[in-house]
Amino acid sequence: MLKIGMLTSGGDCQALNAAMRGVVKALSHNAEDGVEFYGFLNGYQGMIYGNYRKLTSEDFSGILTRGGTILGTSRTPFKLLDEPTPEGINKVEAMKENYRKLGLDCLVMGGGNGSTKTAHRLSQEGLNVVALPKTIDNDTWGTDMTFGFHSAIEIATKCIDDIHTTASSHGRVFVIEIMGHKVGWIPLHAGIAGGADVILLPEIPYSIDNVIKAIEKRDKNGSRFTIVAVAEGAISVEEASLKRKAYKQRIAERTSPSIAYDIAAEIINRTGREVRVAVPGHTQRGGQPCAYDRVFATQVGVEAARGILDGEFGFMVADKNREIVRVPLDIVAGRLKTVPPDCQLVQEAKLMGISFGDEGVEGAINPILKPRKSKK
């Protein structure tokens, strides 16, 4: 009989339950000698502390449309993985011990970049691990798509859509802050889908002068309002000139709630326009998964099950060129998929007149995204 452990790690998102359901259904229908499932509660913390429960078919009934995760989740930073817990527990050894205590044949982990790095570490330690590409940010290397991304776009786009009516009614400038700390896939897609006039991304440092010019140009053309979609990790050209440490220090010293409020204040001071800020926040990863994510997450779960039945481990399920494939964890772990500043979608948006705040700006790079120098 197969024994499968499951956990969800990092930030939650839509379709985590759908992905686990895909694994369970595919294995339950195809494992010749039967299968048992054990869920570690609250991410890797459950695996470290031995908090788990045996899962039954009832646990996976009616969860296809349910957001969040039935197992709970938490963040276990990879950089702290080799530091003992407050109780002095060796995290890696504890996870290995609990895996073997249950006699597991495989651990199925749904998570993003940091979680996948831990999955790779456990694979290197001798455990059979399969990863599922979960994150609303779509920033996981090795896959064209992650589940949760499309659902987040739908919510962010709906926010921009709804703001349009009040912005046009009052003739206001709206700065809408969209999730995207290090990468801008969500604000890029939602900004275009929602008809934003300015889109500011972490990968493309902006000049506030260019943002002001875009607003003034719309004013001259008779447009009474402007929509500025801002990634939460958007960065100015001046900030991009700083070293990584200095930039982090500046962010730590910020007195405003977020970058959107800083940009709004600049626009008010320099134009005298009436400006409002809207922050959809965690609604972007809450609620029901959209139809696309339900289907994709199910495909991911089924492929994970197929790999387990094949006796193949140490991979992440991925979408490559619209095919569901298996990508080795050592290729995926530790790499971030950012928005290329010259990618086709950005260029198409610029051709439509959308400003990214980088007009005339050359060579500015977000210090957080600059490759680190390898230590000798």
Residues tagged active-site = 137
Residue type, 164: H
274 and 141 Cβ atoms separated by less than 8 Å: no
22 and 305 Cβ atoms separated by less than 8 Å: yes
- Range list of H helices, the chain: 16-30, 44-49, 91-101, 113-124, 149-170, 185-193, 208-220, 237-240, 244-252, 259-271, 291-310, 329-332, 344-351
What pairing do the DSSP bridges indicate for beta strands 275-278 and 173-178?
parallel
Please state, in angstroms and rounded to a whole number, the distance separating the CA atoms of residues 283 and 155. Answer: 7
Structure tokens at 112: 């993003």
**DSSP H or E stretch at residue 280:** none
Distances (CA, A) of 35 to 32, 303, 310: 9, 16, 15
Please state, in angstroms and rounded to a whole number, the distance separating the CA atoms of residues 337 and 319. Answer: 14
Give the residue among 63, 80, 161 at the shortest CA–CA distance from 121: 80
Which residues make beta-bridge pairs with 323?
320
Who's near 57: CB < 8 A, 6+ residues apart? 24, 28
Among positive and negative, which fits the CA dihedral 290, 296, 36, 27?
Answer: positive
Structure tokens at 138: 């779509």
Phi-psi region of 85 (alpha: psi -120 to 50; beta: other; left: phi over 0): beta
Angle at alpha carbon of residue 364, lines to 236 and 241, rounded to 5°: 65
